[in-house]
Structure 1
Amino acid sequence: MRQILASISALLLSVFVLVLGYGIQTTLLPLAAAQADFTETQIGLMSSGYFIGMVLGCIGAPHVIMRAGHIRAYAAMVSLMSAAAIIHPIFVDPTAWFVLRLISGFCLAAFYMVTESWLNERATNDNRGMVMSMYIVVLFGSLMIGQVSISVMDISSFVPYAIASVAASLAVVPVALTTATQPAPIALVQFRPIKIYKQSPAAIVGVLLVGIANGALLTLAALYGSQIGLSTQEAAIYSAAILAGGILAQWPIGRLSDRVDRRLVLVGLGGLTAIASLMIVLLSPTGFYMAAALAVLVGVFSQPAYAIATAHGFDYAAPEDFVETTSGLLLSFGIGSVIGPVTASILMANFGPSGLYIMVVVVEVILVIYLLTRLYARSALTPDEKTDFEYAATAQVGTVISPEPLDVDADNVIPPEEFPAYDDPIYSPEAEEITEEVILVDDGDDLDEQDADFDAPDHDAVIHSTDGKKE
């Protein structure tokens, strides 16, 4: 355990610091936009801009990494995110903030890709689940701390923007100074939504609808709190309470879904989220404690839904398709998250603060109805036929992590043709003979260690050379 932490501590520190700054912005910007007299619709569009950037990042960031390399791409994206954070108070304009949020979303997607591929390289088959779980805990823990930290800041001042920018800038230091070799070049995986839909309609439609509801809750909860009369400090805590509820419930609900039909679990989560949201609409809480308690309740039922839907998708996917499935479901969630904030903001403009939860109720009811139709369309898997629930594999990140090595000969994998950034001899064609000499393969054969310039890895590996051939 200590050895594992030592090998990834610098990277986890970078994750903590950068996501802390991002968490500050998720709560700060809607509240600051309201103070600057942005309309609800403008705030919704600004919030959707972040998710548009995330979707574009999932598609375009691999090309940036292949062109510049992991370290330089990481430094560039984190620096750009730092600049975007500090520009917000300089150009207080809805269009400018939309563009800045789009840039931040793209940069964060690239950050996740580099971080996760690096962690995957450091992990072994024996500890990969532990490594990725630590990463997810640090990520969501720092996000929640960032949201809560707004409660001790003056959002009308320059300070919170500066802190968010400094956090992003500091995140680049551990990686920029690393002496470790950067991860091997990544291959691209095609997004084939029709194939994923045929494999598991409930998974891809489920994450789309969950994205609509949860995307709106993540970005507009603080605005809702402010509009019902909570102070800035209370609104920040209110927003974080939803995420806290999800963190508490994620693992037990995931384990429950291993024992019963995951679609039934999703039906239960959707129905209970709709009931909790309807309570908020009907009660219109104005006191902080009641509002926060209901927010935790909404978080407990709404936030684990993405992980359960993704796990259901894995149940019907072959191991070699896990990366494609993960990427496809993440993109579907991102598309839903683009739709959610805009739709909710329009309802808030017409029906007041409760418009946010009116939308959540409607979306969750649609989700329940759709899943009930799927229960009759396909029989449930037995527990033995399922993949075990794994939080790290089903979290709302995981753009490049695979439980199995990618097969570059598969029709859904696109091996990169050229790697301009990877002039290091370890990635050059001239080094192929060396990389062939020391390698562990998946067929269980004994390892023959020959003379080489480097130590053999202590886990199963498939090395992808620069010409895209599997070695």
Structure 2
Amino acid sequence: MVRSLLPLSALLLGSAFLLFAGGLNGLILPIRGEAEGFTAVSLGLLGTGWAIGYVAGCLRTPALVAKVGHIRAFGAMCALAAIAVLLSLVLISPLVWIPVRALSGFCFAGAAMIVESWLNERADAASRGRVFGIYTMVNLAATTAGQMVLTLGDARGYLFFVVAAMVYCLALLPTAIFATSTPKPLTSVSLNLRGLWRNSPIAFFAVLMVGISNASFGTLAAVYAARIGLTLSDVALFASVPILAGAAAQIPVGIASDRFDRRIILVVIAALALLADLLFLLGGFTDPASVRVLAALFGATVYAMYPIIVAHANDHAAPGTFIQVSGGLLLVYGIGSIAGPTLAGLAMTSFGASSLFAVTATAHICLILFALLRLRTRAAVATKDKSAFQAAPLARVSTPETAAFAADAAELEADREHSIDASNDRE
């Protein structure tokens, strides 16, 4: 029994290393960039670069894996990610960091997809939900640990860059040693914007706005915290507390969205997020305790919206299109993530640190208004016709393979049959 579980544990360990390094790298760059005097626009462009690379990785990795195989592709992704971290240390300049961050996003997406494909292959129908839940919790813990390790030293030195590179290399070992069987080809998703809009306009628009909001905060939260005078330890907490709060909020939010119209729940959650935006924007809070409370409210709302949106889209999706719809929405989220950090960086440069939340507030207002409009033009889905709500990892570290991993056996079979039918129709 232990021997049969060892490869699964090794893959989870590899994923934990990957997320630990990603969490550390994602937070050290804005903190170090702020210390080096980079403008908010330059720091925002780091998030834009990451999102561009991440979307490209989600789209191109399946073809790369089909050409060279899972193990070689995973090794290349981890090695390039480690090189990208070290390049950021050797060449401290926005002109270098922005394209290097795009490379990091590409490699991170590709490596995550490959690990998820292995886990998906090894999880049978009876254990799929449990394995996915463990995977989600491992990734949450690893991301948080990667961010919190910054409290142990000085961000202006070389240590944390080297540690992140080392941990990316460590992620190679479990798959190289234990992943002996080659899984099926990776999940490939095309970006069909027109089809996603026809399926659910509110899901399409909402996930775009959430991408703008969440990526803006995820990229520039550390810069905001540093500029209002928080210490390095408090900056790390400010970045980590929203993630933990968002994960905890998914359980009650999921229960509510299964019982009531998901659009109403989405409006309520977005209104609470807007409240957090306005308190940040107008409240003038600078003491660490108050800021952490507001960060928890912000994270509990903004990070709970994405799984509601995916569930609502799948309520309206045709049978056998679960992965296509979920993966497509993730790519639309990526488009929002490309725009958001740049807009927020421009706002912070022109109007000050708190204007980060003017950008997130604008996104949440647009979401609320559009959702209220759709509530008047389309009837709610009957409770019996709803798909099951599924808690999800952060969208910024999810991939199309995550959707395949999260799907239950019936959904996977329906998607497989739908793909076969579509292929026969083309022939």
TM-score range, shorter chain: over 0.9
CA distance in 2, matches of 1:369, 1:3: 54
CA distance in 1, matches of 2:60, 2:3: 34
1:263 equivalent to 2:263? Answer: yes
**Match of residue 404 from structure 1:** 412
Q: What root-mean-square deviation, in Å, do the aligned CA atoms of Structure 1 and Structure 2 show?
A: 2.1
Larger radius of gyration: 1
Residue 411 of structure 1 aligns to a residue whose secondary structure is helix
Structure 2 residue identity aligned to 1:411: A
Deviations 1:77-108 (A, max 9, x none): 01110111111110001011011110011111
Deviations 1:219-255 (A, max 9, x none): 1111100000111221111111111211111122112
CA distance in 2, matches of 1:375, 1:15: 40
Structure 2 residue identity aligned to 1:269: I
Superposition map of 1:145-294 within 5 A: 145-178=145-178, 180-186=180-186, 188-294=188-294
State the Cα distance separating 1:280 from its structure 2 match.
Answer: 1.2
State the Cα distance separating 1:414 from its structure 2 match.
Answer: 12
CA distance in 2, matches of 1:179, 1:381: 42
**Match of residue 344 from structure 1:** 344
State the Cα distance separating 1:5 from its structure 2 match.
Answer: 5.1
Superposition map of 1:50-89 within 5 A: 50-89=50-89
CA distance in 1, matches of 2:187, 2:30: 37
Which structure carries more helix by proportion?
2
Structure 2 residue identity aligned to 1:252: P
Report if aligned partners of 1:40, 1:349 keep a CA contact under 8 Å in 2. yes
State the Cα distance separating 1:317 from its structure 2 match.
Answer: 1.4
State the Cα distance separating 1:26 from its structure 2 match.
Answer: 1.6
- Tell which has more relative contact order, 1 or 2 (C-alpha 8 A, sep 6+): 2
Superposition map of 1:9-48 within 5 A: 9-48=9-48
Deviations 1:307-328 (A, max 9, x none): 1101111111134111111111
Structure 1 residue identity aligned to 2:422: D
CA distance in 2, matches of 1:254, 1:158: 42
Structure 1 residue identity aligned to 2:186: I
For structure 1, the residue ranges without an aligned partner over 5 or more in a row are 416-468
Compared CA separation, residues 4 and 253, structure 1 to 2 (3 A): farther
Deviations 1:37-80 (A, max 9, x none): 11110111122100110111111111111111111111110111
Structure 2 residue identity aligned to 1:174: P
CA distance in 1, matches of 2:393, 2:37: 40
Compared CA separation, residues 198 and 330, structure 1 to 2 (3 A): same
Report if aligned partners of 1:78, 1:169 keep a CA contact under 8 Å in 2. yes
Deviations 1:259-287 (A, max 9, x none): 11111111011111011110111112111
Structure 2 residue identity aligned to 1:237: L
CA distance in 2, matches of 1:97, 1:240: 23
Structure 1 residue identity aligned to 2:349: A
Percent of residue pairs identical: 33
**Match of residue 358 from structure 1:** 358
Deviations 1:368-422 (A, max 9, x none): 000001111110012111011112499551412143142442437999xxxxxxx
Compared CA separation, residues 393 and 124, structure 1 to 2 (3 A): farther
Residue 420 of structure 2 aligns to a residue whose secondary structure is coil
Residue 166 of structure 1 aligns to a residue whose secondary structure is helix
Report if aligned partners of 1:317, 1:325 keep a CA contact under 8 Å in 2. yes
CA distance in 2, matches of 1:413, 1:354: 55
Structure 1 residue identity aligned to 2:54: M
State the Cα distance separating 1:179 from its structure 2 match.
Answer: 5.2
Report if aligned partners of 1:55, 1:331 keep a CA contact under 8 Å in 2. yes
CA distance in 2, matches of 1:189, 1:356: 32
Report if aligned partners of 1:277, 1:357 keep a CA contact under 8 Å in 2. yes
Report if aligned partners of 2:53, 2:103 keep a CA contact under 8 Å in 1. yes
Report if aligned partners of 2:212, 2:337 keep a CA contact under 8 Å in 1. yes
Superposition map of 1:102-181 within 5 A: 102-178=102-178, 180-181=180-181
CA distance in 1, matches of 2:252, 2:187: 34
Compared CA separation, residues 203 and 3, structure 1 to 2 (3 A): farther
Report if aligned partners of 1:129, 1:392 keep a CA contact under 8 Å in 2. no
Report if aligned partners of 1:24, 1:146 keep a CA contact under 8 Å in 2. yes
Moved over 4 A (4+): 1-5, 392-396, 412-415
CA distance in 2, matches of 1:179, 1:12: 11
Aligned length: 416
Report if aligned partners of 1:191, 1:324 keep a CA contact under 8 Å in 2. no
State the Cα distance separating 1:164 from its structure 2 match.
Answer: 0.4
Deviations 1:335-368 (A, max 9, x none): 1011111111111111111011111111101100
CA distance in 1, matches of 2:203, 2:140: 23
Compared CA separation, residues 216 and 386, structure 1 to 2 (3 A): same
For structure 2, the residue ranges without an aligned partner over 5 or more in a row are none
Compared CA separation, residues 364 and 15, structure 1 to 2 (3 A): same
CA distance in 2, matches of 1:413, 1:126: 31
Residue 422 of structure 2 aligns to a residue whose secondary structure is coil
Residue 38 of structure 2 aligns to a residue whose secondary structure is coil
CA distance in 2, matches of 1:83, 1:4: 34
State the Cα distance separating 1:186 from its structure 2 match.
Answer: 3.4
CA distance in 2, matches of 1:77, 1:141: 22
Report if aligned partners of 2:57, 2:109 keep a CA contact under 8 Å in 1. yes
State the Cα distance separating 1:6 from its structure 2 match.
Answer: 3.9
State the TM-score, normalizing by the size of structure 1: 0.85
**Match of residue 440 from structure 1:** none
